[in-house]
Amino acid sequence: MADYIAIFDTTLRDGEQSPGASMNAEEKIRMALQLERLGVDCIEAGFPIASDQEFEGVQKVAAAVKKPSVVGLARAVPPDIERAAAAIEKAQKPTLHTFIATSDIHLEYKLKATREQVLDQTGEAVRLAKKLIGRVEFSAEDATRTDWEYLVQITTAAIEAGADVINLPDTVGFTTPGEIEDMFKYVREHAKGADGVIFSCHNHNDLGLAVANAMAAVRGGARQIECCVNGIGERAGNTSLEEAVMAMKVRQNIYPYETGIVAEEILKTSALLGNITGLAIPYNKPVVGRNAFAHESGIHQHGVIQSRLTYEIMTPESIGRSSNELVLGKHSGKHGLSARCADLGYDLSDGEIKQLYEKFIELADKKKEVFEDDLRVLIASIRDESFETYHVVQVRTSGDDPAMALVKLRRGENQDEMFETSTGDGPVDAACKAVERITGAKGRLLEFTVRAATPGKDALGQANVTVEFKDKAYYGQGASTDIIEAAVHAYVNAVNKFLAIEGEQNV
């Protein structure tokens, strides 16, 4: 029987540390429920000590999911550990994950502590965590730049204190496959009690080696891979969940391991994360990128027509991508739309279906065909509107110098419509200034991107913005066949999030 490799997903914690990838509590829940459908073993829901909002997000995820273990991260100090324990205490399967740096670089410059002090702190932290939560993971931060003999001492101390999982992370993406495989073998062979715990790997992608290093760590004895959907994460990202999983599925002769991942849910999970965070998936991204199963070369096309095995090492269906995408049009009914959404993995209420259908018909009138990616964008937009204060009614712009814009917004569902005009450096700038005049929320646009959700001249454009209000960044997204209108929807979405949080804080 093949060895089992646990998949520890840290999209909601390390992944959320990607610039622009922050999620509110409801978005975390939505993502966590999809991760549960995907079949991950552990969901690291966040860093509870970081803020009240982060604590609430972890707490809500802990209450929402049933099958995966819900993990709360804590530094190896009592306040962090106690806060994390409180956040995950109601989870069906809670895990407290505590960490401390172990490399001499970190000890000297960050912790300003001796090896002996860190050894003592490790034991104390794990014992406290174990007292509060039954399952504890310990991480030796910057393990791959840590002296191996000292790493053995730290690992032994954590095991003796009660750790169930030992994580040896490549925190800065420094190592290589040969090195990390040897490191895991060495620590497992020399640490006391190593046979009684699970070893885990957590690799960053600074040199583009995260997935290769994760697979090498597994060869060295790791039986848990810590990873993120779409490979997001700090700096260059983390081990890509979908790439690691499919490497084991496709190359069973090299990696004869099993996971609990339902591979057919991979594409849905990837698309949901992209819609929530606004981080576009590169077209050439392995496994989930739009071009992953596209063939433009005549030679490649001819080969695939004869046999898909010539240029495809996995099938689109194996990750949940339909090779024959169902296209909807303006004559499609609510039932067909609802069924298609269910096929895509969305469980929509009657109210959401009604909202979606209105947007769907509006879009279908503008373009002949509505594709799966169009639907994903529309679904994301209606779910974001659940808390919205302002709704976009009309946008008109002129590209003259200076550019001019007229924006009409409605506050609430049944209140009066308000409009303002403004000028700016361009039509988007002018429209955003008009929004500011209506809402009174003055922000600074930090980032603006727009991309086509589907191919073709009549593609639905998805706009993503990051706007700073009162020294805090808010992410917004919007969609329209008109890119300026999409930008206004995205900007108003960010304004609404700011106003919602401001309202909570002023209660």
For residue 38, the model assigns a pLDDT of 98
Measured at the CA of 426, the angle between CA 423 and CA 431, to 5 degrees, comes to 55
| 54-63, 77-86, 301-310, range with the lowest pLDDT | 301-310
Structure-model confidence comparison of residues 104 and 304, the more confident one: 104
Mean pLDDT of 122-136: 98
What is each CA distance from 330 to 89, 346, 370, in whole angstroms?
49, 21, 9
Cite the residue boundaries of each domain of the chain with CATH code 1.10.238: 298-383
For residue 324, the model assigns a pLDDT of 43
Give the C-alpha separation, 234 to 259, whole Å: 25
For residue 132, the model assigns a pLDDT of 98
Structure-model confidence comparison of residues 255 and 342, the more confident one: 255
In degrees rounded to 5, what are phi and psi of residue 368? -70, -35
Indicate if the pLDDT at residue 206 is higher than 90. Answer: yes
Terminal C-alpha separation, the chain? 57
**What contacts 13, CB < 8 A, 6 or more positions away?**
44, 45, 46, 47, 71, 73
| pLDDT tens sequence across 144-197 | 999 999 999 999 999 999 999 999 999 999 999 999 999 999 999 999 999 999
Q: Is 38 in contact with 265 (CB distance < 8 Å)? A: yes
| 125-139, 198-212, 370-384, 430-444, range with the lowest pLDDT | 370-384
Q: Which CATH number fits domain 3-277: 3.30.200.190, 3.40.50.2300, 3.20.20.70, 1.20.1250.20?
A: 3.20.20.70
**Does the reported pTM lie above 0.85?**
no
Q: Which CATH architecture has domain 298-383?
A: Orthogonal Bundle (1.10)
Give the C-alpha separation, 43 to 32, whole Å: 7
Handedness of CA 248, 250, 252, 254 (dihedral sign): negative
| pLDDT tens sequence across 475-498 | 788 888 888 898 998 899 889 878
| 6-20, 266-280, 411-425, range with the lowest pLDDT | 411-425
Q: Which CATH architecture has domain 388-505?
A: 2-Layer Sandwich (3.30)
Cite the residue boundaries of each domain of the chain with CATH code 3.30.160.270: 388-505
